């Protein structure tokens, strides 16, 4: 009877389970065991996303992913049997529908005040001018030289960084930009023999295209900086810009008397892909990364776009490629790497303000 008395059982149970030494050891084992502590410490300090945020390299990654997606534009354009300005219209139409739907699904608002609305409309106007002039320059001087001239946006962005942002540009940055552009010239600069009597106008259009693209990037950077990098706000901004583009490209198509007809299923699929990947996904990534890095580094990374587009031309369309052009790809990539490898030193204050909040 004494062996199984309630009091004796209760005391034995408490001693076994709640004695100070046993409880302390169990608690330490649960919370501070070497494996658990090591994993928790690694997760807190060295997880990939946190590491990239702290090193301010996430902006480079975002812009590079965006450039990768935009590089497929030439593939979609070649697959779509539609006239050039109309291709831009459908890109904006399908992209605008997707962006508007996502914005509404996330309960975002297109109207975020008069200032934001005007800036977004102006941004859309500049981007439309960029696309229209680029298409015109292709007609006059060919796609190679037109692509080369439009990629000179990096020099406009470098000038803005030096003159307006008062950013210190190192010799390494200057060398990287020149190396990347030299590589582009090796790839695309072989079209001088196709220049005709209208080449001066085509070159002018190409240079204005570069200036417009740089202005678009800077204005978009300013807008997303003011919004605090909230994904839903970026989506609303991109939706407004894309819808503005759609109307302008539609009007331009009418003025150029181009047909809106989509002839076959392949063209439909190509235009859908053109709207979703280069216009929606690519610019979501680029807008998230623009304010985390300097304009110069953003322009340098975006040179990946024509370089990769050239690679897709070889892979998907069996383009004949001389050794000089392959060497140009290597030189451009080397320049981009040389320029972005040091961008971790870009202003910490700007990086802290522009953390992505999804």
166: left (phi over 0), alpha (psi -120 to 50) or beta: left
**pTM for this structure?**
0.75
CA 109 to chain centre: 22
Residues in the chain: 358
Which pLDDT score is estimated for 14?
Answer: 54
Does some domain include residue 29?
A: no
Residues 6+ apart with CB under 8 A from 158: 169, 173, 177, 295, 296, 299
107: left (phi over 0), alpha (psi -120 to 50) or beta: left
CA diameter of the chain:
116
C-beta of residue 223 within 8 angstroms of C-beta of residue 120: yes
Does some domain include residue 233?
A: yes
d(CA 113, CA 36): 49
d(CA 256, CA 276): 25
Q: Which two tokens stand for residue 39?
A: 């994993």
Which pLDDT score is estimated for 290?
Answer: 87
Which pLDDT score is estimated for 350?
Answer: 43
337: containing domain: 61-353
d(CA 158, CA 16): 72
d(CA 358, CA 234): 11
d(CA 348, CA 290): 14
Does some domain include residue 40?
A: no
Q: Report the number of distinct structural domains present in the chain.
A: 1
d(CA 303, CA 71): 10
Does some domain include residue 35?
A: no
- One digit per residue, the tens of pLDDT, for the chain of length 358 reads 555 566 665 555 555 555 555 555 555 555 555 555 554 554 544 444 444 444 457 888 999 999 999 989 888 988 999 988 899 999 999 999 999 999 999 888 888 888 888 999 999 999 999 988 888 887 777 776 777 788 888 888 888 888 877 777 778 888 888 898 888 888 876 555 555 567 778 888 888 999 999 999 999 998 888 765 567 788 889 999 999 999 999 999 999 899 999 999 999 999 999 999 999 999 999 998 888 888 888 988 998 888 888 888 888 888 787 888 889 888 888 888 888 775 444 444 444 444 433 3
3-state secondary structure the chain: CCCCCHHHHHHHHHHHHHCHHHHHHHHHHHHHCHHHHHHHHHHHHHCHHHHHHHCCCHHHHHHHHHHHHHCCHHHHHHHCCCCHHHHHHHHHHHHHHHHHHHHHHCCCCCCCCHHHHHHHHHHHHHHHHHHHHHHHHHHHHHHHHHHHHHCCHHHHHHHHHHHCCCCCCCHHHHHHHHHHHHHHHHHHCCCHHHCCCCHHHHHHHHHHHHHHHHHHHHHHHHHHHHHCCEHHHHHHHHHHHHHHHHHHHHHHHHHCCCCCCCCCHHHHHHHHHHHHHHHHHHHHHHHHHHHHCCHHHHHHHCCHHHHHHHHHHHHHHCCCCCHHHHHHHHHHHHHHHHHHCCHHHCCHHHHHHCCCEC
Does some domain include residue 39?
A: no
Does some domain include residue 310?
A: yes
Which pLDDT score is estimated for 23?
Answer: 54
Does some domain include residue 249?
A: yes
318: left (phi over 0), alpha (psi -120 to 50) or beta: left
Which pLDDT score is estimated for 208?
Answer: 92
Which pLDDT score is estimated for 270?
Answer: 94
Map tokens 């030096």 to a residue.
162
d(CA 314, CA 310): 7
CA 182 to chain centre: 23
Does some domain include residue 238?
A: yes
Which pLDDT score is estimated for 95?
Answer: 96
Q: Which two tokens stand for residue 101?
A: 């739907």
């Amino acid at each position: 009877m004494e062996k199984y008395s309630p009091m004796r059982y209760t005391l034995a149970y408490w001693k076994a389970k709640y004695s100070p030494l046993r409880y302390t050891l169990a608690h330490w084992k649960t919370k501070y065991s070497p494996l658990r502590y090591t994993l928790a410490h690694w997760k807190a300090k060295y997880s990939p996303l946190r590491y990239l945020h702290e090193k301010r390299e996430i902006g480079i990654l975002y812009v590079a992913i965006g450039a990768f997606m935009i590089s497929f534009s030439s593939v979609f354009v070649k697959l779509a049997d539609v006239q050039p300005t109309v291709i831009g219209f459908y890109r904006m139409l399908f992209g605008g529908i997707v962006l508007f739907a996502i914005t509404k699904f996330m309960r975002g608002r297109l109207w975020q005040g008069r200032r934001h609305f005007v800036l977004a409309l102006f941004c859309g106007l500049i981007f439309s001018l960029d696309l229209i002039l680029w298409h015109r320059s292709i007609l006059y001087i060919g796609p190679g030289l037109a692509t080369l001239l439009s990629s000179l946006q990096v020099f406009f962005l470098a000038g803005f960084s030096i003159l307006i942002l008062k950013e210190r540009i190192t010799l390494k940055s200057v060398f990287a930009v020149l190396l990347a552009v030299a590589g582009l010239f090796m790839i695309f600069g072989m079209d001088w023999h196709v220049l005709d009597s209208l080449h001066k106008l085509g070159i002018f259009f190409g240079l204005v295209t570069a200036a417009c693209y740089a202005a678009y990037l800077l204005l978009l950077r300013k807008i997303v900086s003011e919004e605090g990098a909230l994904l839903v706000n970026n989506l609303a901004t991109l939706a407004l810009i894309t819808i503005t583009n759609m109307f302008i490209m539609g009007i331009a198509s009418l003025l150029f008397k181009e047909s809106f007809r989509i002839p076959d299923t392949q063209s439909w699929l190509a235009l859908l892909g053109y709207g979703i990947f280069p216009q929606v996904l690519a610019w979501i990534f680029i807008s998230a990364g623009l304010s985390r890095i300097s304009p110069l580094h953003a322009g340098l990374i975006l040179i990946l776009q024509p370089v990769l587009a050239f690679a897709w031309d070889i892979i998907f369309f069996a383009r004949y490629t001389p050794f000089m052009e392959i060497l140009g790809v290597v030189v451009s990539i080397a320049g981009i790497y040389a320029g972005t490898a040091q961008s971790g030193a870009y202003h910490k204050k700007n990086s802290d303000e522009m953390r992505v909040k999804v």
